[in-house]
């Protein structure tokens, strides 16, 4: 990579950032398309976020991704928020248009594109169970509602967070049947046995743990299990699902697709389908 005085600078704001695969993905994409740009990790502590965001303007950084724990805190620091990001309540991509910082969320679009690419599931009219209630779950719920699913059940350790998420979304998606279900109730097992798609949007599994409130024996054979956790080896959930011959996929495709969508927002270049996924798996 040869940088010059005209090279454009992109980056990632997060705490931590050292584990991130985004620099690898984005720099490969710039190289492949002969774009004079570089993508750098910026380790930003929560108290420094306002200064860091002003730094984007001051240094004319062309765009950044935003990751944990800043995705929600960054919203009031921006000039404009894309409607989908506003609905999700989180921003993972900022575009700097001549000093105007615009917040987007490519987690929802990336999740839906990866689902469509990696499975034969018809999202329109299907029934879904989401595990979680954090930012990733909010993005999945919005993406799925926009894609036209029929119903979304949500379970979470702290059920009140799932209820709050549903209260926020119901006015925007009156045609979708939302319900919060506690995973220690029979109704949860009923939902589990009839849904077409189950999404683990909790952080369980990130360090090898098991989602112990997901009894796989109740899941119907045609359902898809989507584990948002990504790992170059199999997550425990994926391993267990495969051993039961259930359809399953992990979050690597979502990571790749949300990165492709951020790249498009910054450069206007639509990468070939699977470009980032190939970079990650190589």
The residues of the shown chain that bind ligand NDP, judged by CB under 6 A, are: 68, 107, 132-137, 156-158, 161, 201-204, 206, 228-230, 251, 254-255, 258
DSSP state of 102: E
Give me the DSSP letters along 121-135: ---TT-EEEEE--SH
Q: Using CA atoms, how far apart are residues 44 and 42, in angstroms rounded to an integer?
A: 6
Q: Which residue is nearest to ligand NDP (CB)?
A: 134
Of the candidates 47, 52, 43, which has an alpha carbon nearest to the alpha carbon of residue 16?
43
| Token pair for 113 | 């594109």
**Please, which residue, 8 or 257, has the CB nearer to ligand NDP?**
257
Structure tokens at 268: 């206007």
- Closer by beta carbon to ligand NDP, 120 or else 207: 207
Told to judge if 278 belongs to the known catalytic residues of this protein, a careful annotator would answer no
In the bound complex, what is the minimum distance in angstroms from residue 208's beta carbon to ligand NDP?
12
Helix intervals (H) in the chain: 22-32, 49-58, 83-88, 106-118, 135-147, 159-169, 186-194, 236-243, 252-267, 275-281
Nearest residue (CB) to ligand NDP, 101 versus 257: 257
Among the options 71, 86, 150, 239, which is catalytic? Answer: 71
Nearer to ligand NDP, 14 or 132 (CB): 132
Residue 135 tokens, joined: 């930012």
Which residues are catalytic, by number?
A: 71
């Amino acid at each position: 990579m040869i940088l010059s005085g005209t090279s454009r600078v992109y980056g990632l704001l997060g705490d931590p950032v050292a584990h991130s695969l985004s620099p690898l993905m984005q720099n490969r994409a710039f190289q492949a398309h002969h774009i004079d740009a570089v993508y750098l990790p910026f380790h930003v502590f929560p108290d420094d976020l306002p200064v860091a965001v002003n730094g984007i303007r001051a240094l004319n950084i062309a765009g950044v991704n935003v990751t944990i724990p800043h995705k929600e805190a960054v919203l009031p620091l921006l000039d404009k928020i894309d409607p989908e990001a506003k609905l999700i309540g989180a921003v993972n991509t900022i575009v700097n248009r001549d000093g105007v910082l615009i917040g987007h969320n490519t987690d929802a679009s990336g999740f839906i594109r990866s689902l469509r690419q990696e499975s034969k599931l018809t999202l329109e009219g299907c029934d879904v169970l989401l595990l979680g209630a954090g930012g990733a779950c909010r993005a999945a719920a919005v993406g799925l509602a926009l894609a036209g699913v029929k119903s979304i059940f949500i379970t979470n350790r702290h059920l009140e967070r799932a209820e709050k998420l549903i209260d926020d979304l119901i006015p925007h998606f009156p045609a979708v049947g939302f319900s919060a279900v506690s995973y220690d109730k029979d109704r949860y097992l009923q939902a589990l046995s009839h849904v077409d798609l189950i999404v683990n949007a909790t952080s369980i599994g990130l360090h090898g743990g098991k989602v112990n409130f997901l009894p796989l024996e109740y899941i119907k054979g045609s359902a898809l299990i989507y584990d948002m956790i990504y790992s170059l080896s199999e997550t425990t959930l994926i391993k267990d699902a495969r051993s039961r011959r259930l359809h399953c996929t992990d979050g690597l495709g979502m990571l790749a697709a949300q990165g492709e969508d951020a790249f498009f927002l910054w450069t206007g270049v639509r990468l070939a389908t699977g470009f980032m996924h190939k970079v990650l798996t190589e």
